[in-house]
Amino acid sequence: MMKQELVSIITPSYNSLDTIERTIESVIAQTYTNWEMIIVDDCSIDDSRELIQSWCERDRRIQLVARGWNAGPAVTRNRGISVAKGRYIAFLDADDTWFPHKLETQIAFMQQNGVAFSFSSYQRTNEAGDKLGVIAAPESITYDQLLDCCKIGCLTACYDREQLGTVYMPNIAKRQDFGLWLRLLSLTPKAYGIQETLADYRVARNSVSSNKLVAAKYQWRVYREVEKLSLMKSLKHFTCYAVAGVANRI
């Protein structure tokens, strides 16, 4: 029987008034009920902070951490991790949603198989609500495989602090989640994928992931500045990354 260990859900928020309510509702709808949702507001200038506070008053499992100055997603997520009380750390951005059985399926998978780091397939949806297809999770991925192509969606990732300790994202402006997955895979041989689609990723027109040149720049910075890879090894993995990017456009 699955043990209902506490799951800490880390949600960075900045001017998320139009989307955060759906995100919160998808967490409240979880069939797995032992969770805390830590929403870290990165000095929003809209009314999202007040909306989040109203949800905190309705459900004590939701916690608002209000930052005093805008620091970006890495610092914001790490602030959430620093106050988390759960055995498991999961991530959900303020414009994404989970399917109701996401946590139940994932935590059962991790407990039954002794998995320290897991992720799943997820649906992509644009701002108009059109389905753009599913990003299928591989059965597993290693550190070197991840360097070639990041197949872990942040909204599906979950790691076990009892096995790996508390691990933070590198403090870079973009691709900090990729940097965290690499740090975790330096502590455990593989991350294991759940093939079932458990979440919905909202594709914004001006998102970083839609800007391939910006993404490529920060991919390179993770290789060289975060992971300290040699120039030759960085070039090898960057070539694989670029080829995978072209293939995904065909």
| 248: in domain | no
DSSP 112-130: HHT-SEEEEEEEEEETT--
The CATH number for 38's domain is 3.90.550.10
CB atoms < 10 A from the CB of 221, how many? 17
pLDDT, tens digit only, all 250 positions of the chain: 678 999 999 999 999 999 999 999 999 999 999 999 999 999 999 999 999 999 999 999 999 999 888 888 899 999 999 999 999 999 999 999 999 999 999 999 999 999 999 999 999 998 888 898 999 999 999 999 999 989 999 999 999 999 999 999 998 888 899 999 999 999 999 999 999 999 999 988 655 445 778 888 889 889 999 889 999 999 999 998 888 765 554 3
| 250: in domain | no
pTM of the model: 0.92
| 241: in domain | no
In one-letter notation, the amino acid at residue 186 is: S
| 229: in domain | no
- CA atoms of 102 and 137, how far apart (whole Å): 14
Segments forming the whole domain that contains residue 11: 7-207
| 244: in domain | no
| 226: in domain | no
User: Do 27 and 37 meet the contact criterion of CB atoms below 8 Å apart?
Assistant: yes
- The number of domains in the chain is 1
| 89: in domain | yes
Helices (H), the chain: 20-28, 48-58, 73-83, 102-113, 143-148, 161-164, 176-185, 212-221, 231-249
